[in-house]
Structure 1
Amino acid sequence: MLFKKVILVFCIAIFSANVFAQQDSIPKPVKVEDLKIDGNIKTTQGIYDPLAPSKAAFYSAIFPGMGQIYNKKYWKAPIVWGALAIPIYYYQTNNSDYKRYRTAYRLRKAGLEDEFTVNGVSSVSITTLETAQEQLRENRDMSLLSGIIIYVLQIVEASVNAHLLQFNTDDNLSVKPTFIADPILFEAPKVGLTFKYTF
């Protein structure tokens, strides 16, 4: 008899749990044909364009600074051009000087007069010519490497900027540091960090 009572209580508990269960919070799907819109729809945010970062990167790869112009950050384009002009200038200068010293070194090794030899007297030794060639070649290669790095960075910057322009940048999402003095321990300053969320 006790067993029947336990089964009866168990069945009542399961039945009552189903009866008083919470309703499903997921709404039933609505067909598009059933929707009616009255008036104009106003959107405060722009439409997300997933191809914008790739377009900006493509334009920057074709012509440096064009991705920044595509993102409507016109002030960044002259910075990109100036940043790329500096390694190009130093590459050309170091390369022309390297060729001068290389030619002088070859002529000196062949026993001929070079640009650093006047009336049979050389103003630069052969060791100096070798050292100058090594230093100028290293400077030329570093200029080329820095130019390539700047070129790649401006492509990445245009792509990241195009991606971030599509996010909400409301003032409520910003960080506002404030200093709050502790009235109890005024003489002993404390440092802390507090995050405040408002919805």
Structure 2
Amino acid sequence: MNASANKAFLCLFLITNALLSQEKIADVNIVSDSIQIGESIDPLSPARAAFYSAVLPGLGQAYNKKYWKIPIVYGAIGTGVYFYSWNKNELDRYKTAYNQRINGFPDEFNGEDGNPFISEDGLVRAQNVYIKNRDLSLFITLGLYALNIIEANVDAHLDDRAFNKNLSLKPSFYYDPLQNSTVTGIYIKYDFN
């Protein structure tokens, strides 16, 4: 096995080991509006959502029951794959034309009278542009894939059951008669019910 395969195996081992070593917290004794007595909270929910999204994009969003995000995930990753494929095909087209031209064969960019539409230097520049665009499309696609995993993880962390409804934060405006002006601030409220 090569070094990258060893790293991938080690990463997969650590992720699955971390997933299997955790337990569910059962029978939460907190009484509030957001967590019911006896309801269990799964601390592995974020890790599972991220793992599912890593295995198949959009599966973590389905695990979080946010089905409306799945078309967005596939649209984003699909767009990146489309542009990668298109740039790769154009690069192959210009490479083939350049190789045919330097070997003395006619290519698709030759005119009817034998004068080429694009010079050899133009074919080389076009190849360089499509190499850059192909690589950029690959990095953007990988970034969108990683963003899919991160979004599933964060969304599982921000589950509504995990927040206490007794904590509130809202802006406040107060009229100060001595200064004859309005004072703005933040009002933080916590109920101890």
Q: With the length of structure 1 as denominator, give the TM-score of the two structures.
A: 0.70
Tell me how far 1:47 sits from its aligned partner: 1.1
Residues 1:134 and 1:45: Cα distance change in structure 2 (over 3 Å) = farther
**Does 164-173 or 149-158 show the bigger shift?**
164-173
C-alpha contact 1:45 1:168 (8 A) present in aligned 2: no
Cα deviation 1:131-162 (Å, max 9, x = unaligned): 11111110100111111111111112112222
**Structure possessing the higher radius of gyration over alpha carbons:** 1
Task: Tell me: higher relative CO, structure 1 or 2? Use CA pairs within 8 A at least 6 residues apart.
Answer: 1
Q: Distance in 2 between matches of 1:43 and 1:173?
A: 17
Q: Residue in 1 aligned with 2:78?
A: 85
Residues 1:45 and 1:114: Cα distance change in structure 2 (over 3 Å) = farther
Question: In structure 2, the residue corresponding to 1:176 is in which secondary structure?
Answer: strand
The partner residue of 1:160 within 148, 154, 160 is 154
Q: Residue in 2 aligned with 1:121?
A: 115
Counterpart residue type for residue 179 of structure 2: L
Tell me how far 1:182 sits from its aligned partner: 2.1
Tell me how far 1:115 sits from its aligned partner: 0.3
Q: Distance in 1 between matches of 2:110 and 2:148?
A: 46
Residues 1:184 and 1:44: Cα distance change in structure 2 (over 3 Å) = farther
Residues 1:45 and 1:146: Cα distance change in structure 2 (over 3 Å) = farther
Counterpart residue type for residue 40 of structure 2: I
- State how many pairs are aligned: 157
Q: Distance in 1 between matches of 2:131 and 2:150?
A: 29
Q: With the length of structure 2 as denominator, give the TM-score of the two structures.
A: 0.72
Residues 1:186 and 1:75: Cα distance change in structure 2 (over 3 Å) = farther
C-alpha contact 1:60 1:158 (8 A) present in aligned 2: yes
Residues 1:78 and 1:138: Cα distance change in structure 2 (over 3 Å) = same
Cα deviation 1:38-89 (Å, max 9, x = unaligned): xxxx935741212222221221112100100110011111111111111111
Residues 1:117 and 1:195: Cα distance change in structure 2 (over 3 Å) = same
Question: In structure 2, the residue corresponding to 1:54 is in which secondary structure?
Answer: helix
Tell me how far 1:168 sits from its aligned partner: 3.2
Q: Residue in 2 aligned with 1:8?
A: none
C-alpha contact 2:94 2:123 (8 A) present in aligned 1: yes
Q: Distance in 1 between matches of 2:44 and 2:185?
A: 42
Unaligned runs of 5+ in 1: 1-41
Residues 1:193 and 1:166: Cα distance change in structure 2 (over 3 Å) = closer
Counterpart residue type for residue 146 of structure 1: I
Q: Residue in 1 aligned with 2:169?
A: 175
Tell me how far 1:94 sits from its aligned partner: 0.6
The partner residue of 2:53 within 60, 84, 101 is 60
Tell me how far 1:194 sits from its aligned partner: 4.8
Residues 1:186 and 1:127: Cα distance change in structure 2 (over 3 Å) = farther
